[in-house]
Structure 1
Amino acid sequence: MKNVNIELESKDELGAMAKAINAQMEQIEKDLHQDRKLIEEATDIVKTLKKGGRDKRLVRNSNSKELNTLKLVMNEMMDDLGQKIQEEINQRSDQEKLLIQQSKLASMGNMIGNIAHQWRQPLSEINAILMTLQVRHMHNDLGGDFLNTQIEKCNEITDFMSNTINDFQNFFKPSKTKEFFDLDVACKKAVNILHSSLKHHHIEFEFKNDETPTILGYPNEFSQAFLNILSNAKDVLIDRNIKNPKITVLTKVGHQFILIQIKDNAGGIKEDNLDRIFEPYFTTKHAKQGTGIGLYMSKTIIEGNMDGTIEAENHKDGACITIKLHAIQSNKKQEVKL
């Protein structure tokens, strides 16, 4: 603002009045300048808030009582907003921890069920061997060579059962750092966990792939996410008592992205539920059959840890879950390895 003074040199009452008016004008100009700086500061803080910043506060003062009151109100509002946001973050963090814990418990329950399926046949074989030994012993026909052969068979079976436990332990052990891994191997790891259960329920499984892609991420976490999707498809097929049940996995490799599609022939997902199946605690199963966490955790792993996307849609025979991940260029992979 340009300074405009009344130029009057007289020493009479008019001169004194001019000096007083000039002094008031100078003070008003200083006050306006101070007020303008406070308003500019407030404008900058509002812009920072819009960008997510919450640390700045108004520090300039004004000779205007109203502006100083506004400054105090704004600072109190920002303090209150910051506190509420932090409380919300803490609450969500606690909820996230609870979901992860519940997911682990659900995974342990599924793991025990899958181990039971994996062990059913070996235990039956051991039982058959013991019955044979008992019968031959009753008829005094239990030679040393035959006994040793049967003991070796039992040892092989128990080794298989022990390896099954190791496989499950390694499967649920979290990956500590990102690494390059074979997508097909990670997928088949999950399939092996479910193999006996799929076979027991007569569910056909088909794996189609154009080539064997390599991706960067957390292999065990990806396998868990993939297992959750397969388990969900398996449960739906069983629950709906589908004739000739089938799960098909198809991988497609492009220059920028890799698509993994998991399809079933269970009739599909209701349109109202398509946008909700990845929400925490959402389930269409009976309360005792599902927690509604599996697909949510799959989404969290794929989108949060693998920088990918996951979507659900229906095809002519059932549901299709599509995972989209970034493809790794061979030259980039070699550079990282070096």
Structure 2
Amino acid sequence: MGTETEKIEGENSRILCVDAQAMGLEELLEIKRTPFYYRFTHAANLAEATHLLGSEPFDAILCSYAGRYSEVTLRGLLGLKREDNFESFSTPPVIAIFDDEDHEGVARALSHPSLGFLFASQLRSNHAATILGAVMKRVSHDQLLEGAQQQLVNTEKFAAMGLLAAEVAHEINNPASFVISNLSVMTGYIQAIGEFLDQAREGVREEAPELFKRLSRLSQDYEISFLQEDLEELLRRNLHGMQRIHQIVQDLRFFLHDSHGEAGWINVERLLETTLNLVKYEAKYRTHFELEFCGDADILSDANRLSQVFLNVLVNAIHAIEPGDVKGNQVTVQTQREDEFLDVMIRDTGVGMSERVLEQIFEPFFTTKDRGEGSGLGLSISRDILQSLGGQISATSQVGGGSEFVIRLPVRAPKFERDARISGAYPSVAIEDASEPIDTDTPEDA
């Protein structure tokens, strides 16, 4: 499959060289610069390179730009997703190798900010190790810069989305409250009319039996009894649906509220229920929820920032489960008090993760989702939030056996203890009760 040198003592970097024969470099096995060694593994084409990247870690990828399919190969290497194809724990820099006279190719290479380039003669020179090391370092720095720029763009985008969502929530809240009020009044009207009709029916039965018979036949022709029952049921469903909309808006407004780092005594189980209200629709065709609460979940912390952590982890758990078997799959949310800590366990019956993926899930921009479906920031942000709150997060998983995230929270975080001593008070954070208890089963259409 590939040609590789024997084990070299000392520090070394592993280089994957693709289509080296096009440049006459197929015999290049190592470049030595004491105490460093650059060790080369050769792949004939993109398919072979992809296979090697999936089974071995590499520090860089060299790709010949003189072969028949060099452009396709190079684009394929630049488009590889680390989480699906790379055994390496960081994205290996891709470096194109050009013929010394290929100035047009070099110009094209410069259009790719994350692509480095070398001339074939440089790899044959006495200074090959120095040149290769410098190019690898530059490309790695360019990748870090590109990632930081993308993170800034995403941050601005998420901030704009948050402002828009807050405005939409405010605009929905007022008419929703109005409709709920009217539906409640209408329900009372229908009940009063029903009681009146029942009493009138009994009165006519006693005072005018013949009229009662005619009215009874007329009532049957128009299915008045069915219409009365169905009208009450329709109003009940409409009221239930509007209450759900209202509760989601309330939860969304709470989630979007900027607490400016303010802490208070919060009930984590109530906060989890509030967050579950926001993700119930996401889980509708995938799974149902099981709640195992200990009943002793009051901690001194920041409710808004914790709600973001719970939302990120719950959405990840839901997305790990394929749609279809709602009853057979479940997401279990459990709380457990242990001395001065509260543990929140979130388990799913999803596809699970390999050990390689598990080691990278808290890295910024790491995602196993398709392009455009995830930013790869959710778990990284969650970890940073928990660390700032004095907590921590860990994960265990098995391919095909689901995953479990354990969030450990201090009952009294030292940071908030100091703030409370300075202010002389422990405020409490009010988390609005849901309009009705959390339905742990996936809700049916109203």
Interval of TM-score (by shorter of Structure 1 and Structure 2): 0.5 to 0.7
Distance 1:104 1:191, change over 3 A: farther
- Kept in 2, the 8 Å contact 1:216–1:328? The answer is yes
- 1:238 CA drift (Å): 2.4
Partner of 2:253: 169
Partner of 1:278: 362
Distance in 1 between the 2:158 and 2:405 partners?
20
Partner of 2:308: 224
1:197 to 282, 285, 294: 282
1:302 to 386, 399, 415: 386
Distance 1:325 1:226, change over 3 A: same
More displaced stretch, 182-191 vs 94-103: 94-103
- 1:170 CA drift (Å): 2.1
Give the number of the structure whose alpha-carbon radius of gyration is greater.
1
Distance in 1 between the 2:324 and 2:157 partners?
26
- 1:140 CA drift (Å): 8.9
Partner of 1:101: 156
Matches within 5 A, 1:1-338: 97-104=152-159, 154=238, 157-158=241-242, 160-176=244-260, 177-198=262-283, 200-238=284-322, 244-304=328-388, 306-314=389-397, 317-328=401-412, 336-337=425-426
Distance in 2 between the 1:209 and 1:291 partners?
31
- Kept in 1, the 8 Å contact 2:292–2:332? The answer is yes
- 1:247 CA drift (Å): 0.8
- Kept in 1, the 8 Å contact 2:286–2:323? The answer is no
Distance 1:162 1:223, change over 3 A: same
- Kept in 1, the 8 Å contact 2:298–2:411? The answer is yes
Distance 1:233 1:157, change over 3 A: closer
The AA in structure 2 aligned to 1:230 is L
The AA in structure 1 aligned to 2:396 is E
Deviation beyond 2 Å, 4+ runs, structure 1: 90-112, 139-142, 145-167, 209-212, 238-243, 332-338
Distance in 2 between the 1:171 and 1:239 partners?
27
- Kept in 2, the 8 Å contact 1:206–1:247? The answer is yes
- Kept in 2, the 8 Å contact 1:214–1:328? The answer is no
Distance 1:310 1:195, change over 3 A: same
Distance in 2 between the 1:165 and 1:242 partners?
25
The AA in structure 2 aligned to 1:276 is Q
Map Cα deviations across residues 28-82 of structure 1 (whole Å, 9 max, x no partner). xxxxxxxxxxxxxxxxxxxxxxxxxxxxxxxxxxxxxxxxxxxxxxxxxxxxxxx
Identity %: 22
Query: Secondary structure, in 3 states, of the residue corresponding to 2:406?
Result: strand
The AA in structure 1 aligned to 2:268 is L
- 1:157 CA drift (Å): 4.4
**Structure (1/2) with the larger helix percentage:** 1
Number of aligned positions between the proteins: 222
Distance in 2 between the 1:285 and 1:239 partners?
15
- 1:100 CA drift (Å): 3.4
The AA in structure 2 aligned to 1:180 is W
Distance 1:272 1:91, change over 3 A: closer
- Kept in 2, the 8 Å contact 1:178–1:218? The answer is yes
Map Cα deviations across residues 252-286 of structure 1 (whole Å, 9 max, x no partner). 21112221111111142111111211111110011
Distance in 2 between the 1:274 and 1:299 partners?
14
Distance 1:255 1:149, change over 3 A: closer
- 1:195 CA drift (Å): 1.8
- 1:104 CA drift (Å): 4.7
Distance in 2 between the 1:231 and 1:295 partners?
11
Where does the alignment leave 5 or more consecutive residues of structure 2 unmatched?
1-144, 184-220, 428-446
The AA in structure 2 aligned to 1:311 is S
The AA in structure 2 aligned to 1:101 is E
- Kept in 1, the 8 Å contact 2:288–2:326? The answer is no
Distance in 1 between the 2:325 and 2:374 partners?
17
- 1:288 CA drift (Å): 2.8
The AA in structure 2 aligned to 1:218 is D
Distance in 1 between the 2:410 and 2:395 partners?
19
Map Cα deviations across residues 141-190 of structure 1 (whole Å, 9 max, x no partner). 99xx9699699655664454344323322222122311110010111111
The AA in structure 2 aligned to 1:285 is K
Partner of 1:4: none
- Kept in 1, the 8 Å contact 2:344–2:406? The answer is yes
Question: What's the TM-score once normalised by structure 2's chain length?
Answer: 0.41
